[in-house]
Amino acid sequence: MLNQKQVRYCLDKMREMFPEAHCELVHSNPFELVIAVALSAQCTDALVNKVTRTLFQKYKKPEDYLAVPLEELQQDIRSIGLYRNKAKNIQKLCQMLLNDYNGKLPRDRDELTKFPGVGRKTANVVVSVAFDIPAIAVDTHVERVSKRLGICRWKDSVLQVEETLMKKVPRDEWSLTHHRLIFFGRYHCKAQNPQCQTCPLLELCREGKKRMKGKEPWIENV
């Protein structure tokens, strides 16, 4: 496990590598964000953005999603994985939003998790991005990077990863760190082909050192 000084070094390096890290889901208000994040489960942000480009022109508010038959909404998001279930959850979410919250999305994470299709990760993204409340959402990239580097333990659950990061990262850096970990995992420390040979964190990374065993990345081909 990395010590506090080593964790700080990792955070600083990721900041240097990805100074512009941000939420890549395109949205113009908190309601659109919660729909986009709900759609993004087991799906890439790029595909969600492709779908929401037209979806958000057609559906502006909760009432709009409820004004069409479920089948029509399913067709509108058909290219996204699990689209049937997601369409059902979106309509239920919109109904609940109108019935229980006067159409206004709550700013509280625990309140948000009451909505269908909104888990802890989604709620953390929404409070962090839409309402600027410090939070660390643990998606597959955040979990993979945290475990590979040794910030967390291999056996840690998603909740334990979140709790460990909250302890090891200063509170005012939670939201930015969440985005930097995602960018680091999405564009550098990829699931299949992590760029260990050019990684500035290789010396600290238990997974990277294991992968590079027998290879000598510092020797140029001559």
Please write the tens of the pLDDT for every residue from 35-75.
999 999 889 999 999 999 999 999 999 999 999 999 999 99
Residue 222, domain member (yes or no): no
| Domain range for 206 | 4-19+136-211
Same domain, 114 and 207: no
Task: Give the catalytic positions in this structure.
Answer: 121, 139
DSSP string covering 150-208: TSS-TT--HHHHHHHHHHHS-GGGHHHHHHHHHHHHHHTS-SSS--GGG-TTTTT-HHH
Domain ends where: 109, 131, 153?
Answer: 131
Residue 218, domain member (yes or no): no
Same domain, 88 and 35: yes
Q: State the residue for tokens 């919109």.
A: 94
Domain ends where: 131, 159, 188?
Answer: 131
Same domain, 108 and 185: no
Domain ends where: 86, 108, 131?
Answer: 131
Same domain, 144 and 112: no
Q: State the residue for tokens 């990805």.
A: 18
Q: How many CB atoms lie within 10 A of CB 183?
A: 21
Q: State the residue for tokens 């729909």.
A: 35
What tokens were used for 153?
């333990």
Same domain, 84 and 172: no
pLDDT bin (cut points 50, 70, 90) of residue 122 is very high
Same domain, 106 and 161: no
128 pLDDT exceeds 60? yes
217 pLDDT exceeds 90? no
Domain count within the chain: 2
Same domain, 54 and 118: yes
222 pLDDT exceeds 70? no
Please write the tens of the pLDDT for every residue from 132-165.
999 999 999 999 999 999 999 999 999 999 999 9
Residue 93's closest CA among 29, 37, 28, 26? 37
Residue 79's closest CA among 121, 48, 38? 48
Rama region for 220: left / alpha / beta (φ>0; ψ in -120 to 50; rest): beta
> Taking the model in full, what pTM does it have?
0.89
